Chain A
């Protein structure tokens, strides 16, 4: 009698991909659920963290990559600090997000990767984050046009938002860095 789960080759390939990218041995997770118990955002997730990890163990690529969970995880590291098996669930979430992001996997939490894209776009251009530009573009592209319109004037009055972008001089070499990283990341795989 074989004790191996009847996983398809593609399922096993996905499990190995996540293990390689996260540097984690997922067989160590024995599903105690401590990560989910301490997760401050589990209440909003479609699958709590230990279920996503179970999904990866079972090679369930679609469940993991299109879950709300991977984008709602705030990377607070509570799970990774408390795991009795020394697994790093926050690192696994990072690996899943990076795969989903690179492949453009659709998710019901599309606004979060959109925000990351715009944030890094700002860094790529200016070297630093230009917050007013980031908020404006985020509201425009996410369709939440009036979001935070109550807070923004208060922040402007208090000098907490600058309407001028940072000096372009800090952005020197940034485009080249991002392009090189994209090419090398493909090599790492």
Chain B
């Protein structure tokens, strides 16, 4: 199994531990990731909120590079995943007047002469692990089952919505991560907020809104008995982890909910070292929880 790997900006900065744990786990499982050389930002929310054409041209420039590699593209960030998939949907559609304009912009940026029509398939790493690598194969590789660990799966927005773009599981009640949690030997928590929004795109500008949304999510997870939350998006992780102290101050709560990437939890179940998985980079430390569960 070999993929063109698109890490995106967050995995090279605020979410390095997602990149580290992704690379470590994929290497252990024999999933080869070849990073797209000279990848650029997908434009994220700022792109699609302000410019119709750059919202498409930025992802397409990357997809043209992936097409040259003749590999499917593996994406770790749910926001990048969404932007790349929207671009593929538009570029492969018939008669959308934006398509030739996007081709022209990408050409201007040195992105190859051949028009792009959505040839580079885009997959989220979660899909690659659960569907292509397979949960049965993964279960057989687990050396340290996460016995008794109660995990709330948090999907957030852009993995599952809009469904006609991502085609990822059920948009209102996805269960992909729950199946993964069970395969790792842990216990998935049944809770109603798994596809609520963390407010990620307002992280810097309206931190109070983010704090309110994160408070509701964290408290619901705690109320339903979760000991930690599993995520598959660097923006969800940053909101819930980085802002947790602010949530506690603002709402007088005493939450201590580690927010872990699914790759970190897979790595833990494969017996990998904390440092390899970047567990020390999390703001809300999972150390005491893992000690209590004899997972370290």
Contacts and interface: CB of A to CB of B under 8 A. Distances in A.
A and B from one assembly? yes
Interface of A: 21, 40-41, 43-44, 72, 74-78, 80-81, 88, 90, 94, 97-98, 101, 109, 111-117, 119-120, 123, 127-129, 131, 135, 138, 142, 147-148, 151, 154-155, 158-162, 166, 169-170, 172-174, 176-178, 180-182, 184-185, 187-188
Contacts of B212: 43
A72 B209 contact: yes
B287 to A, nearest CB: 14
A21 B206 CA distance: 27
Contact of A174 (B9, B47, B109): B109
Interface string B260-286: 000000000000000000001101000
A101 B283 contact: no
B69 interface: no
B9 A129 contact: yes
Interface of B: 9, 12-16, 38-41, 43-54, 57-58, 61, 97-98, 101, 104-106, 108-111, 157-158, 161-163, 171-172, 196-197, 199-202, 204-207, 209, 212-213, 242, 280-281, 283
A185 B51 contact: yes
A14 to B, nearest CB: 17
Contact of A176 (B47, B108, B205): B108
Contacts of B280: 158
Contacts of A75: 45, 48-49, 157, 201
Contacts of B283: 154, 158
Contacts of B207: 147-148
Given A74-B199, A119-B44, A173 B50 contact: no
A100 to B, nearest CB: 9
Contacts of A90: 162
Contacts of B196: 40
A74 B205 contact: no
Contacts, number: 176
Given A74-B199, A78-B161, A176 B109 contact: yes
A127 B40 contact: yes
Contacts of A78: 157, 161, 197
Interface majority SS on A: helix, strand, loop or mixed? helix
A26 to B, nearest CB: 18
Nearest to A120: B46
A167 B38 CA distance: 10
Nearest to A95: B52
A101 B49 contact: yes
16 contacts: A41-B209, A43-B212, A74-B197, A74-B202, A77-B162, A81-B163, A98-B50, A123-B46, A129-B41, A155-B242, A169-B38, A170-B39, A173-B110, A177-B61, A185-B53, A187-B101
A97 B49 contact: yes
Contacts of A44: 206, 209
B109 A173 contact: yes
Contacts of A109: 205-206
A110 to B, nearest CB: 10
Given A78-B197, A147-B207, 6 more contacts: A41-B199, A41-B213, A74-B197, A109-B205, A113-B50, A185-B53
Given A177-B105, A181-B105, A98 B49 contact: yes
Given A78-B157, A81-B163, A184-B104, A120 B43 contact: yes
A142 B41 CA distance: 24
B108 A185 contact: no
B57 A74 contact: no
A168 to B, nearest CB: 12
A77 B157 CA distance: 7
A40 B109 CA distance: 38
A98 B51 contact: yes
Contacts of A72: 202, 206, 209
B47 A135 contact: no
B92 to A, nearest CB: 16
B36 to A, nearest CB: 11
A159 B281 contact: yes
B234 to A, nearest CB: 10
